Amino acid sequence: MYAQLVDTGAKRVQSLEELSPEDRAFQERIDAGVKIEAKDPMPESYRRTLVRQISQHAHSEIVGMLPEGNWITRAPTLKRKAILLAKVQDEGGHGLYLYSAAETLGVSRDQMIADLHAGKAKYSSIFNYPTLSWADVGCIGWLVDGAAIINQIPLCRCSYGPYARAMVRVCKEESFHQRQGYDIMLALARGTAEQKAMAQEAFNRWWWPALAMQGPPDKDSVHSAQSMAWKIKLFSNDELRQKWLDQTVPQAHYLGLTVPDPDLAWNDETGHWEHGPIDWDEFYRVIKGDGPCNRDRLRARVKAWEDGAWVREAAVAHAEKRAARERVKAA
């Protein structure tokens, strides 16, 4: 998902009896559905994992502005331009809500950004794929934001209050994102032969990365089990992926698109769609930095940050001057 493969630092999930009295009291509060707030006592590993997860999520939103931002200047109508700009702006807002939530855990935004720029912090693999045509913008909204919503709605109930509240805000805004994406695809599907081909070509490229983006099967993952015990992850990756698949396949069919998976099949017994094997080597390769756009995305972020340094510095200098003047006036 937007936060993939989050390391919890756990070797295995300990039972209540094995936990120290403090950690046990903490786990019991979580089990009772009590929300943890910023100043509440919490195990250091819980805090560190949350910082990793939330900051990764925030970075994904910010880096995620780039592939779609690409097309703001080339949107085909003024209405689409306005919608896309508003959508990408929302992603920036979401990044900001999430950085805010992470900052309650005692890490500064500048530090998180420095970690991203140094390659120490991850962001979602999905944003390392290029947007090559207008239909890619449709695919991101429909498929990627669609997957994001499935992941994020449960997080509105996660155990950490500031994160849960940020997710509520994000989810409220996100459904417009998915719809605008599908709306772009609808227009293409109803369009000329060239437009239909554009839609199918983009769909072919986005299908597998979108299917993979919830992350590899994690039923045996210690980190996932620990995150689930802490209620900062509420469903397994496969559960989320299944939900996405079941909702997306009929949507694709409605558009007249062919799903690029020869093994895709409806299972009458389970009442679910089944997909062919996902190339997890590719997923890990992209996560580790060898996706088509990893270097470009990171360079773009670093450049924006470095180019803006003098502006941020000037704003602080000015605020200080102004405050000093006020003090003189008051004296």
Partner 1 sequence: MKEWPLWEVFIRSQHGLAHKHVGSLHAPDAEMAIRNARDVYTRRNEGVSIWVVKAADITASSPGDKEALFEPANSKVYRHPTFYPMPDEVKGI
Partner 2 sequence: MGRQDALFEYLLRLGDSALVLAQRLGEWTGKAPIIEEDLATANTALDLIGQARMWLAYAGEVEGKGRDEDRLAFLRDASDFRNVLLVEQPNGNFADTIARQFYFDAWNVRALDALRGSTDARVADIAGKSLKEARYHFERSADWVVRLGDGTDESRAKMQAAIDDLWTYTGELFAADEVDRILAESGVGFDPGSLHAPWMDAVKQVLDEATLVAPAAGYMQRGGKQGVHTENLGYLLAEMQFLQRAYPGGQW
φ/ψ of 274, rounded to 5, equals: -125, 140
Residue 40 Cβ, how far from partner 1 at the closest point, in Å?
A: 5
Rounded CA gap, 165 and 68, in Å?
26
Residue 77 Cβ, how far from partner 2 at the closest point, in Å?
A: 5
Which of partner 1, partner 2, none does residue 100 bind to, with CB < 5 to 8 Å depending on kind? partner 1
Residue 175 Cβ, how far from partner 2 at the closest point, in Å?
A: 19
Residue 93 Cβ, how far from partner 1 at the closest point, in Å?
A: 6
Per CB under 8 A, the list member of 41, 106, 119, 308 interacting with partner 2 is 308
Which of partner 2, partner 1, none does residue 88 bind to, with CB < 5 to 8 Å depending on kind? partner 2
Q: What is the largest CA-CA distance in the chain?
A: 80
324 binds partner 2 (CB under 8 A): no
80 binds partner 2 (CB under 8 A): yes
Q: Pick out residues in 93-152 that bind partner 2 (CB under 8 A).
A: 93, 95-96, 99, 134
Number of residues that bind partner 2 (CB under 8 A): 48
Strand partners of residue 272: 267
Interacting residues toward partner 1 by CB under 8 A: 37, 39-41, 86, 89-90, 93, 96-97, 100-101, 103, 108-110, 165-166, 169, 173, 309, 312-313, 315-316, 318-319, 322-323
Instruction: State how far the alpha carbon of 181 is from the alpha carbons of 46, 135, 228, in Å.
Output: 36, 9, 31
Cβ nearer to partner 1, comparing 284 with 305:
305
Determine if residue 314 is left, alpha or beta; phi over 0 gives left, psi from -120 to 50 gives alpha, anything else beta.
Answer: alpha
304 binds partner 2 (CB under 8 A): yes
Per CB under 8 A, the list member of 11, 12, 39, 79 interacting with partner 2 is 79
DSSP character string of 114-158: HHHHTT-S---GGGGS---SHHHHHHIIIIIHHHHHHHHHHHTT-
Q: DSSP 3-state assignment of 36?
A: strand
Q: Residue 70 gets which letter from DSSP? A: T
Which of partner 1, partner 2, none does residue 79 bind to, with CB < 5 to 8 Å depending on kind? partner 2
Count helices and strands in the chain by DSSP H and E runs: 14, 2
Q: Do residues 145 and 174 lie in contact, with contact meaning Cβ atoms separated by under 8 Å?
A: yes
Rounded CA gap, 238 and 217, in Å?
6
288 binds partner 2 (CB under 8 A): no
Which of partner 2, partner 1, none does residue 108 bind to, with CB < 5 to 8 Å depending on kind? partner 1
Q: Residue 216 gets which letter from DSSP? A: S
Which residue type, as a one-letter code, is found at position 226?
Q
b/e sequence 243-273, b meaning 16+ C-beta within 10 Å: bbbeebbebbeebebebebeebeeeeeeeeb
Cβ nearer to partner 1, comparing 265 with 317:
317
303 binds partner 2 (CB under 8 A): yes
Only one residue has tokens 């409220």, namely: 172
Q: Of 61, 190, 202, 89, nearest to 142 (Cα)?
A: 202
Site map for partner 2, 170-209, x if CB under 8 A?
Answer: --------------x--xx-xxx-xx--------------
Residue 100 Cβ, how far from partner 2 at the closest point, in Å?
A: 11
Cβ nearer to partner 1, comparing 15 with 175:
175
Question: Site residues (CB under 8 A) for partner 2?
Answer: 62, 65-66, 69, 72-82, 85-86, 88-89, 92-93, 95-96, 99, 134, 184, 187-188, 190-192, 194-195, 300, 303-304, 307-315, 317-318, 321
